[in-house]
Chain A
Amino acid sequence: MAKYATPKLDELESGPWPSFVSDIKQEAAARAKNPKGLDYQIPVDCPEDLLGVLELSYNEKETHWKHGGIVGVFGYGGGVIGRYCDQPEMFPGVAHFHTMRVAQPSGKYYSSKFLRDLCDIWDLRGSGLTNMHGSTGDIVLLGTQTVQLEEVFHELTHKLNVDLGGSGSNLRTPEACLGQSRCEYACYNTQDMCYQLTMDYQDELHRPAFPYKFKFKFDGCPNGCVCAMARSDFAVVGTWKDDIKIDQEKVKAYVAGEIQPNAGAHAGRDWGKFDIQKEVVDRCPTHCMNWDGARLSVKTADCVRCMHCINTMPQALHIGDERGASILVGAKAPVVDGAQMGSLLIPFISCESPYDEVKEVIEKIWDWWMEEGKNRERVGETMKRLSFQKLLEVTDTPAGPYHVKEPRSNPYIFFKEEEVPGGWNRDLAAYRKRHQR
């Protein structure tokens, strides 16, 4: 028998898509039954209280969670998000219901043993509810009480050899696409760069020292499966410099209809026979391709590596061999000054372990932003306030036409004093000799 009637939430159990309500009810039932005979360390009925408070929100159309307050584990400034219910008497099981972020392996491959061990900890010491995963990529353990935070952290570090993720004004948990583990488009080892930088910057991740949050994301190619360019302050996106590799026999096989275009991604609808001219050559954004009926060619100098031709004919076309990445800086969601996309800073950088070149760029940006950034100002906003030129200057990056969509259309140009012969210290008396007042 459920602790609360939840008629509104019950309507979210129907329909084909996985129902989180059914799942929370399943967890509530499992805890009530307690097949392992656990001495639950937080209220056994907290999943029911969560449904109860959610039903209240469904009736009132307002949330019942309060600001966090300061909870955490000793010595860390992140990884735990305090959460309190604003109706604790009604729902004592979730009166305090803090979140813990656990660092995920990049690419999110798991063994069932690791996950079961994690579930066992959370069974005994938490709500039994999670997010797989949070928006930034962490494993999110959803709901425990203050006294359990150190205990869970102790179990994670001592038994599972895993750490907490980031929160607050620090380096957030970095995230990578699955990269070379299972993708032929990956231009560098995204998982390794993500892992190495996460390990190298543990201090920045756990101890807030920044003006605001800072996110790294690592995409293996311009398709951007982890949305690095839109979602991370520092986006590393794989690219290459040389020719797209073409297997002409396979191109012919696509043209002949022997291989489905786009790896079969459009198979659910009849789009007609594959037309290489119409679907690939004419759609190329820079018109750098040619198909003469027997041979496909690409003018590499004009190619902007958009991936369309490769995505459309993955068995025939392959990324080039001179591989690395572009770095784009400053993406963020709307708060505070509006959404920003990452802006291209480094057009091409080598991506070989131990990634010293990439780290050099990161650290120069951090030094500048920590000095100049205002409280709660993302680096993209600092760039807007202090100019892209300033970012080039602090990262020792020479300006190039690839940095802009178009040159400026106003002549309000800042020159440096040393750029102008004689500098700015001028002789007014001499001027007046030439020009009467």
Chain B
Amino acid sequence: MELLQTSLILGVVVGIVYSLSGAGLVVIFRTSGYISFTQGDIAAVGLFVGLAAYNSGAGYVWTALLVIAVSTLVGGLVGALITVPLEKHGHLPAALSTIATALIISGLLNLTVGGDPRSFPEVSRSEALSILGVQMSWSDVAGVLVSASVFIGLGVFFSRSRMGVAMRAVNDNKLAGELLGVPDRRLKLVSWTVAGALSGLLGLFVAPILSLSTVSVNTLLVFGFCAIVIGGFDSIFGALVAGTAIGVMTNLTSTYLDPNLVPTVLWASMLLVLLVRPNGLFGRRKLVRV
């Protein structure tokens, strides 16, 4: 029973962080209409710069702020210089450019900092509280609180703010957006910049667990990708629910079945959702008149 409780509660904790990974992808998908495969590498740049500062004596808070600032900048630059300009050729070239950019960043990082995993500082491993006998560290609590605040903020932004609604309109109907004067390029750059910041934030919670290497943040991006496929590409709420469910599901699989089965269960559940509900559990279904 204790094992079950631990699996469930820590599954929720890690799942909410998976959701954060999905949220960054949703932000870009909502304005640009495709998935970015660069987010993990954008975070990696921020994390390596942050780690260098930490090793030179910077405190944790400054390190965290630096990670987020660098990821924000890199995210904005990737959007401004590569992906958004490529969108005039269609979604496919732009989406493919995110893969190319990811590989280039990863290659450059391997050249400069090497591929060995490094330990990354965290908020604190000391116990913050205990829920149903399951101990949670300050890092766990911070991960949940920060992710939850981000979700509330994004949810309110996309549903209530005029800019958020306009961002959703940009990708849906270009012609109307243009004639209504919706500043689509600017909104897309905002989305890339915000997604960059989210990647850095995600990295801060992931790097201490997985250790920092050029591939570790990408590992979590896979969970984020599954979260938005299952939750619905355009649904922030869907990413939260699906990410949390994935966290619980993978923890239970690893505890009661076999840790090696985790990827199989993850991809199988994603395929199942795609077959039954192609727009995800919470994605808005686009009805087509016949």
Q: Are A and B physically bound partners?
A: no
Which B residues lie at the A interface, using CB under 8 A?
Answer: none
Which A residues lie at the B interface, using CB under 8 A?
Answer: none
